[in-house]
Every structure is written in C-alpha cells, then in structure tokens.
Structure 1
Amino acid sequence: LNGIEEVAKMYDYEILLANTYSDKEQELKSINLLRAKQVEGIVMVCWKVEEDHINYIQNCGIPATYISKTARDYDIYTVSTSNKEATYDMTKYLIDKGHEEIAFIMTSKDDTVLERERLSGYEQALNESNIKLDESLIKYGGTTYEAGYESMKELLEEGIVPQAAFVTGDEAAIGAINAACDKGYKVPEDISVAGFNDVKIAKMYRPKLTTVYQPLYDMGAVAIRMVIKLINKEHLESKKIELPYKIIERESVIPRK
C-alpha cells in the first residue's frame, strides 16, 4: 500500500482504499463502489482473484493490475515474484546446510500457478541433489500462525521429525517454530525453519527467521505505475512482471552437524 500511494502521489493521483478482508462479496461490492466513484484505474491486491472479479472490472472498462497468488492464472496485468526460483533457492540453501529431510509446509492446497511453481521448485532442488521426494514431508495449511502451528504439530505427532522445515509464509513459519518448541524440540538446534515473504515480524521474533524476501513495496509501486501507463495508453512490454527476491539469512537455520 505504501508503494501504491507514494507512486500515485508522484503522478498527482489520489488513492481510494477499499479493504475487504478477503471477502469475495465485499470485493465485488467495492469494485462497484469504485466504478460509481469513476476511478481511472484499479490495483487489486487480494489472496485469490477469480474470474468474477476480472470480468466485472473489465466490463466496467477500468484499467486494472492485480497482485494475487492466482493472478497469473489469467490473461491480465500482474505483478509478482519468481516463485519457482525462490522456492528452489531456499530449498537448495537448506540442502547446502546439510539438511536432507526437509518438510515443505505450503500455505495453500489450491491448484494455482503459484502453488504449482513452489512445489516444482522444491521438487527440483531435491532431485538435483539426489534426495528422494517424501510425500509425508509435504503439508498443506494456511498463511496464519495457527495453520503453521497445526501443520508442524501434525508432522511431529505422526512421528516425523524433519531436519528442516520450509514454510511458505512467515507467520505460519513462526507457528511451526512454536509447535516444535512445545513438542520439546529446539529451533534451530533440532529443526531448522525457514519462511517466505520477510514481513516485519520475521526479524522481531526469536530466533530471527531466515526467509525469502519479497519486494512488497516495489510490487505495489510497479502495479500502480502499470495502471497509470494503461490510463495514459502507453505501451507495456509485458502483462506479467516478476520482481527479484533474495534469501535473508538469520538465526532459524543452522548447518546440520
């Protein structure tokens, strides 16, 4: 939101914010409200964009860009990061630290481009290191602390104690750390844990979370710039823009002894 607002101001645009808390009905109502307000463009940031959203906005004739885990499933203007490469790199990072039994806790079971890419990146890293894929190490949860906690708890109660866990969301990763601790395991001494996104809490929690940094500010800034170009009928080289990521090393991952 900061990236969207600051770039909009640079181009003398005002921002109308509609927070819908991932409620689809409210999202559609908000789109209708923005249409009534005669906005010139829309940046839609949501967990799961669907055809209903896209069709409604397109029927309104309002230029739009999307930041969403499902956006690249559609022929629309999107901003994202290279999820397959990021997941591959973090998995490879854990392998290079000596971890071979790596739990992969995904924050969604939805069959979208994002989930397929992340799972593919995980599998590729294992294959290239001659580590057999173990389906029992893959869990599907949600983005919340509670979901990460439950996923790790399930693994441990099933008698599976991974050397490392890669959780594709920072809050869920912190939940996983606490579940391990509550079951008597130390992080990172017994189980290393890595996250994804690098939200603020990642460096505030103890142990500080090793994670994949996503340029969230830049994603907003690029998305609003794309909308402004569409409003001005300027040329866009690509409908789908991917921004760079990086691995942030902190305290929750250590080499396997």
Structure 2
Amino acid sequence: MIPTIRDVAREANVSIATVSRVLNGLTGYSDKTKQKVIKTIEDMGYHPNAIARYLNNRRTQTIGVMIPAVTNEFASAVLQGVEEYALERGYSVFVCNTAVDGNQTMKYLQVLREKKIDGIVFVCEVLDNEHKNLLEAMKVPIVLVSSVTDDPHIPYVRVDDKQAAYDAVRYLIEKGHKDIGMISGSQEDPIAGTLRQQGYRDALYDKGIAFRRSRVVYGDFHYDSGMTAMETLLKQDKGITAVFAASDEMAVGAMNYAMQQGIRIPEEISFIGYDNIRLSRMIYPALTTVGQPLLQLGQEAVSKLITMIETGRTVSSQVVPHEIVERQTVRDICIHNI
C-alpha cells in the first residue's frame, strides 16, 4: 500500500501539520523533529501527492521554465541553476522547449495552465501581447531571464547586454584593433541582437572609429550561422583584424571557417565571443569571451519567483555583472608594433 502523509505522521509520532510544514520548508519545529520526519519519509518511500497539496494550500510546488533550445549550452547552464535552487526549496521544475523562434510558447503556456504551476521563468524571450493576456488569465508570477519588459510587475535577471558588448569591443580597441567586424544575433531580437549591436557601435564611436555596415553580419547565435556569417564577412571586408561575435557558438563557428581558409588565429584575425560557455575553453586556441554568470542567472530568477509565489509581492529586477575572460584568441597589436 502507498504510504500517506497520515502514515508518516503516525510513524514519526508527530502531527500531520508538522509533516506538512517540513515538506513545505516552513518553520515551527526543532531540527531533531525535522530529521526524524525526513528519515521516516525516506524509510517509508512517501511521495507527496501534488493534487492533494494543491487542494490544501493552492500550490503544486511546481514551476514552469520556458526556454528555447534546451540542448544548447547557454540554456542548459541557466536551467541547471534554476533546477538546483528550486529543488533546494522543495519545488519541482517543468521544462518547456519553446524552440529558437519561440513558436511553441502559446502551446506550452496552455500546458502549464492545465498543470496549475505556481510560477514561470521565461528565458531569452520577449513577451508579446498574446503571451501577456494568457499570463494575466493564469494569475501566476513571472520572472524573465536575459530579457526585459516595460511591465513593472514582471521582474528580470540579466546582464547589461549593451554595456557587455561595449566592453568587448573596447577591449579589442585597447589591444590596437580598429578594423573590427561583428557577427550579430538576429535583427529581430530586441535584446541580444539589438542591444549588443548598439554596444558595438557605441564603442567604435567613442574611440573615433567609423561604423561600416559591411562589417556587421547576422546569425542566429548558433555554430552553423557563425560559419556562414564569417564567410560573408570576409567577402564584404577583407581588411578586418578582429571579430566580435554575439555568442560563443557563433564565434567558434567563425573561427573554424577562418582556419579552413588558412587564416591564423589570433595572428591574422582575433576573436572575442559572448557567454563563456564550456566550449569556449575547450577549443584551441581557447576563446576570449564576455563571461555571463549563467548558473547565477537561473538561481537568482527562481529565487525571485519563489519569493513572489510565497509572499504575493513583486520583487525588483536585477542586473548581474559580466566580465572579460581573457584566453588565447586576441592578438595585442600594440605590443607587436613596439
């Protein structure tokens, strides 16, 4: 017979309310009692019933994560941060792969509505009016990761994409580079696409370097588009000495294409990426990049979400710091010209 919460309480010689409080991470019992209840739960193999829990406190202790391309390393690192923190707080995670273009978002929002999840973490996606209307009907809190909204009731956790891109290009300029190309994300992406390109342009402008449209090409943040974009970039402007790519995957794709053409890295062309995924340090030469704290993005987002679920109040947004991670793909022209 499957054990119930009543069976656990009887075996541990505590009240059902105490078992419930332990399960939901609430206070009001000693550590000794907590350990006894936990051991009893483990020994009996008790698993809380989500439906019963919902009927009891109107929560399922489940959060939804809307995330594009869960197979890529950026997404998986953010998701790891979400899951680790959520599990520590007694929440389960329901993951929805919205695809790169977000065309499955509405479908999954309906699924999450049926599952009666307690809140949603949106990763790398802009909320349109259709999304917002459904979310308002669901009446659950939402936190954005690596995105932003003008709705003051929807907090976000992200790096400053424009400043991070600015710092990446400024780093290249300080190494003596003036002929800098950019492999940007999608032109339709108002966050990682538009903001990172604006940071690129601002850094050039502040250093008195003319912006050339021929030196900006577009990809979709993934490896294959980096190869294609590098081919286009070299056809449009053979004078570049450095490339800033808006993702590490595109940077690695671009590097691979350049090496296939016999171009030496960083002697002939330098590269800097964005994200600091594991791949950036596994390749040779190891990629210099803009580091985002991917695990922290996920952890901070779910922390804010759980606070909103359990208190009913809106929390503030957060911009987390980025850094330039120096490796082997940027040549210092200034040193070599001395």
Q: Say if 1:23 and 1:97 are closer, same or farther in 2 by CA, change over 3 A.
A: closer
Counterpart position of 1:72 = 148
Q: TM-score, normalised by structure 2?
A: 0.70
User: Which ranges in structure 2 are unaligned for 5 or more consecutive residues?
Assistant: 1-78
- Does the residue aligned with 2:243 lie in a helix, a strand or coil? strand
1:16 is paired with a residue whose SS is strand
Aligned residues of 1:22 and 1:47 also touching (Cα < 8 A)? no
Cα deviations by residue, 1:130-180 (Å, 9 ceiling, x for unpaired): 211122111112211111111111121234231100000101001111111
Is 2:207 the partner of 1:129?
yes
Aligned to 1:249: 326
State whether residues 210 and 248 of structure 1, in contact with CA within 8 Å, keep that contact through their aligned partners in structure 2: yes
Q: How big is the shift at 1:220?
A: 0.7
User: Which deviates further from its counterpart, 127-136 or 14-23?
Assistant: 14-23
- Percent pairwise identity: 35
| Distance (whole Å) between structure 1 residues aligned to residue 117 and residue 175 of structure 2 | 51
- Correspondence 1:115 to 2:193: yes
Among 220, 226, 229, the alignment partner of 1:151 is 229
Distance in 2 separating the partners of 1:56 and 1:206? 47
2:22 maps to none
Q: Which residue of 2 aligns with 1:37?
A: 115
SS in 2 for 1:18: strand
The separation in 2 between residues aligned to 1:143 and 1:183, in whole angstroms, is: 22
Name the structure 2 match of 1:87: 165
| Alignment check: 8 A CA contact 1:90 1:247 kept | yes
* 1:54-87 deviation digits (Å, cap 9, x = unpaired): 321222111111224xx31442322110111111
Question: Per the alignment, in what secondary structure is the counterpart of residue 30 of structure 1?
Answer: helix
- For structure 1, which segment, 71-80 or 169-178, has the greater mean C-alpha deviation from structure 2 after superposition? 71-80
Q: In structure 1, the residue corresponding to 2:148 is in which secondary structure?
A: helix
* Residue-pair matches, total: 254
Distance 1:37 1:159 in 2: 52
Query: Offset at 1:235?
Result: 4.7
The match for 1:206 is 284
Task: Answer whether contact 2:127 2:149 (CA < 8 A) is retained.
Answer: no
Q: What RMSD over aligned residues (CA atoms) do the two structures have, in Å? A: 1.9
- Shift in Å at residue 97 of structure 1? 0.6
Match status 1:63 vs 2:63: no
Whole-Å Cα distance in 1 between the matches of residues 242 and 103 of structure 2? 39
Of 134-143 and 163-172, deviating more is 134-143
Deviation at 1:23, TM superposition (A): 5.8
Whole-Å separation in 2 of the counterparts to 1:23 and 1:192: 30
Answer whether contact 1:44 1:64 (CA < 8 A) is retained. Answer: yes
Q: What is the CA–CA distance in structure 1 between the aligned matches of 2:297 and 2:332, rounded to whole Å?
A: 33
Please give the secondary structure, in 1, of the residue aligned with 2:319: strand
User: Counterparts of 1:218 and 1:124 in 2: how far apart (Å)?
Assistant: 28
Q: CA deviation at 1:247?
A: 0.6
- Counterpart amino acid of residue 183 in structure 2: I
- How far residue 25 of structure 1 moved from its aligned partner, in angstroms, is 4.6
Aligned match of 2:308 in 230, 236, 247?
230
- SS of 1:17's partner is strand
Instruction: Identify if the C-alpha distance between structure 1 residues 77 and 55 changes in structure 2 by more than 3 Å, giving closer, same or farther.
Output: farther
| Partner SS, residue 15 of structure 1 | strand
CA separation of 1:127/1:65 partners in 2, compared to 1, >3 Å: closer, same or farther? same
Residue 128 of structure 1, CA deviation:
2.0
How far did 1:113 drift?
A: 4.3
- Once the two structures are overlaid, the 10-residue window that deviates more, 143-152 or 53-62, is 53-62
Structure 1: distance between partners of 2:102 and 2:252: 28
Unaligned 5+ segments in structure 1 are none
